[in-house]
Amino acid sequence: MADITITLPDQSKREVPEGTTIGALAASIGRGLAKAAVIGNVNGTERDLNWVLDDGDVVEIVTSNSERGLYTIRHSTTHVMAQAVLELFPGSTFAIGPPVEDGFYYDFELPVGSDGKPGTFVPEDLERIETRMREIMAETQPFVRDELNEQEARKVFAGHRFKLEIIDGEADDPTSATEPGVVRTYENPPSQPWQTPCFDGYPGFIDLCRGPHVPTTKDFLGHFKLMRATGAYWRGDEKNPMLQRIYGTAWASKADLEAHLHRLEEAAKRDHRRLAVDLDLLSFPDELGGGLAVWHPKGALVRKLMEDYSRQRHHEGGYEFVYTPNIANGKLFEASGHLGFYADGMYPPMEMDNGVYYPKPMNCPGHNLIFGARQRSYRELPLRLFELGTVYRYERSGTLHGLMRIRGFTQDDSHIYCTPEQAHDEIRGLLNFVLSVLRAFGFTDFEANLSTRPAKAETVGTDEGWAQATDNLRSALEAEELAYEVDEGGGAFYGPKIDVKVRDAIGRSWQLSTIQYDFNMATRMGLEYIGEDGARHTPIMLHRALFGSVERFFGVLLEHYAGAFPTWLAPTQVRVLPVRDDHDPYAYEVADELRALGLRADVIEASEKLGNRIRKAKGEKIPYVLVVGDDDVAARTVGVNPRGGEVDRGVPLDTFAQRVVDEVDDQLHAAR
């Protein structure tokens, strides 16, 4: 048999017999590689291991510890789940089931029950499904690739209306092929035919799929867990039927699965809603209504520190401070376009006097009134108006989430009016400013979304206007070398935008800052300035929120630091503990001296044992616990027990105080 030549990723060539599969190629390279091989990448296309190679192919072996290998494991696992569900719930059908971050899901529709509605999963169902999945895996069913023509495929999937929509091209499925005329499928032949087969001509499970997959249900699968069943609309549209989605997680090894479950536990521990209660920062009383928070003294103190810092930076950054009221006449929101494009997000109107008033959902209309209050010259531009403006937005009850998604919140909101020529540099400066302030709060890892024209803005502005604004944002991102992804159609109704996301201490991504380009609202509201040429011009308007919302930013900070705020933000920075009650006077003296330096210090008297008072202070995540006893009274020293550090006794009080003052100063200036 003639040999063929294969090129490997390191450009080395390899001679193998004609008819060699990817799996055999891997085996010829090494036993370890053969064992780890999940799929192969042939000339840029991912293929099953039993794919037969051709002369001249460029082949990469994809292993289970690679991102694509893991993707394939999750993809194959979701097929096994679909098989288990279709078999265990006769009459059910399925929609799409792609791998997602950390796992996979599949959407199902269960048969109509006695109440006339499609059935739903209960938690015990997940256990049954999981058990059946493990049986299917033990059966070592091969994943059999095939291609059908459309007529055949329609017959096979006749009982599965969602699959027919995908075949017809009406619905997208990220894991199936979309070539017209050819329908790719993967079959898992069962060891025994199903009692109620639901695919014409097949004894068991088959799905629309472009693959590739692991060789059999036994290979690489098994390190998975079904997490939860939820509702999800078909094609994401609430006008469509609600399907039952099962989420699962799957990994290449048991250790990886356990590590993932452990990460979830760690994330739950730093949930801001839990920490907010534990640390007595804020609460969401039922009496107040959904999505509304009250700030307790400690939370309010941290918030005030954040806001003070923000004000200081904005002052230095050339912003002018303004205030606008919380409600406004509906005519204002008609002029701004909010009632036309954003009414769903607004609280209902209050009727009074000669008209209707709305709680403001955004600060821009108010700021525009300030710009328009008198004639403006180009010499004033860019004009940067800043307000910590509280807005109210009607969010549907199911979407509320602690501080992250809330109905009343405060934006550190700025509107910048500039000439078209200034826009590019101004956006760049804004991005730079935003990142600098975010760094001061301890974030170092940033990425961005560039969101383009949404469908709802079809009638707003011109194609050229949107394109130019989007290019302007794009070039600012590139100039600042900020990695970004394009979110097609994700823009606001008045223009495209950049959203800045940060990664927190455990790698989660949060959307915070937003910079929005608006070439529309100024026109709508008749804003003008007199240019150098003496003529009237419409300014470009930029919307910018840095924290995004003070509440969400606070929540993200709380989770980022797991409640252990850096010293400059900690509600209590130093706690002084007298060893015995005759040390109380000295303890108060220490606290007073620290307070005189602007530090936040308190004293807990010796009414409990020292060890317990230390334990409580640690639970409050206070940066410094000072213990003072006989030696300290005599020598004017303190015993320093820092958060996450070693105890240091006999430190002169002045030395300690200066150390903390310097630390706070460093934290505030390190990022500039």
Residues 617-636, interacting with RNA (CB under 7 A): 618-619, 625, 627-633
- Respond yes or no: is residue 508 known to be catalytic: no
For RNA, the closer of residues 70 and 229 by Cβ is 229
> What secondary structure letter does DSSP report for 296?
-
Q: Which of 405, 424, 428, 524 binds RNA (CB under 7 A)?
A: 405
Minimum distance from residue 582 beta carbon to RNA (Å): 7
Total number of residues that touch RNA (CB under 7 A): 83
Nearest CA among 434, 387, 389, 395 for reference residue 409: 389
Does 269 contact RNA by CB under 7 A?
no
Does 560 contact RNA by CB under 7 A?
no
Q: Which of 20, 92, 185, 244 binds RNA (CB under 7 A)?
A: 244
Catalytic residue among 57, 207, 413, 518: 413
Residue pointed to by tokens 């959902």: 361
Phi and psi at residue 411, in whole multiples of 5°?
A: -95, 140
For RNA, the closer of residues 208 and 492 by Cβ is 492
CA 480 – CA 467 distance, rounded (Å): 20
- Respond yes or no: is residue 411 known to be catalytic: yes
CA 414 – CA 314 distance, rounded (Å): 9
For RNA, the closer of residues 186 and 433 by Cβ is 433
Nearest CA among 519, 466, 506, 521 for reference residue 490: 466
Q: Name the 3-class secondary structure at 45.
A: strand
Cβ neighbours for 426, distance < 8 A, ≥ 6 positions apart: 382, 416, 418, 542
Minimum distance from residue 266 beta carbon to RNA (Å): 14
Does 277 contact RNA by CB under 7 A?
yes
Minimum distance from residue 667 beta carbon to RNA (Å): 21
In the region spanning residues 567 to 606, those forming contacts with RNA, defined by CB under 7 A, are 579-582, 606
- Respond yes or no: is residue 160 known to be catalytic: no
For RNA, the closer of residues 220 and 484 by Cβ is 484
Q: Which of 163, 184, 213, 245 binds RNA (CB under 7 A)?
A: 245
- Respond yes or no: is residue 643 known to be catalytic: no
Contact assessment for residue 565 and residue 275, using Cβ atoms and an 8 Å cutoff:
no
Cβ neighbours for 22, distance < 8 A, ≥ 6 positions apart: 37, 39, 40, 42, 47, 48, 49, 50, 51, 53, 59, 61
In the region spanning residues 141 to 180, those forming contacts with RNA, defined by CB under 7 A, are none
Phi and psi at residue 318, in whole multiples of 5°?
A: 85, 25
Contact assessment for residue 341 and residue 369, using Cβ atoms and an 8 Å cutoff:
no
Residue 298 tokens read as 């400690």
For RNA, the closer of residues 119 and 382 by Cβ is 119
Does 466 contact RNA by CB under 7 A?
no
Q: Angle of helix 297-316 relative to helix 550-560, nearest 10 degrees?
A: 110
In the region spanning residues 632 to 661, those forming contacts with RNA, defined by CB under 7 A, are 632-633, 639, 641, 647, 649
Which of these segments, 204-212, 300-308, 405-413, 469-477, binds RNA (CB under 7 A)?
Answer: 405-413
Count CA within 13 A, CB hemisphere, residue 280. 7
CA 157 – CA 211 distance, rounded (Å): 18
Q: Which of 249, 470, 549, 573 binds RNA (CB under 7 A)?
A: 549
In the region spanning residues 214 to 243, those forming contacts with RNA, defined by CB under 7 A, are 228-233, 236-238, 242
- Respond yes or no: is residue 415 known to be catalytic: yes
Catalytic residue among 198, 209, 364, 418: 364
Does 260 contact RNA by CB under 7 A?
no
For RNA, the closer of residues 139 and 271 by Cβ is 271
For RNA, the closer of residues 142 and 563 by Cβ is 563
Q: Name the 3-class secondary structure at 381.
A: coil
Catalytic residue among 210, 360, 367, 543: 543
For RNA, the closer of residues 53 and 546 by Cβ is 546
Does 123 contact RNA by CB under 7 A?
yes
DSSP secondary structure of 459-483: TSS-HHHHHHHHHHHHHHHHHTT--
CA 335 – CA 340 distance, rounded (Å): 9
Minimum distance from residue 413 beta carbon to RNA (Å): 9
CA 198 – CA 618 distance, rounded (Å): 60
Does 545 contact RNA by CB under 7 A?
yes
Contact assessment for residue 245 and residue 82, using Cβ atoms and an 8 Å cutoff:
no
Catalytic residue among 74, 163, 245, 415: 415
Minimum distance from residue 78 beta carbon to RNA (Å): 15
For RNA, the closer of residues 125 and 187 by Cβ is 125
Q: How many CB atoms lie within 10 A of CB 122?
A: 10
- Respond yes or no: is residue 413 known to be catalytic: yes
Distances (CA, A) of 449 to 228, 475, 486, 490: 29, 13, 6, 9
Which of these segments, 213-221, 324-332, 529-537, 608-616, binds RNA (CB under 7 A)?
Answer: 608-616
Q: Which of 345, 349, 420, 465 binds RNA (CB under 7 A)?
A: 345
In the region spanning residues 467 to 506, those forming contacts with RNA, defined by CB under 7 A, are 490, 492, 499
**Residues with catalytic function:** 364, 393, 411, 413, 415, 497, 543
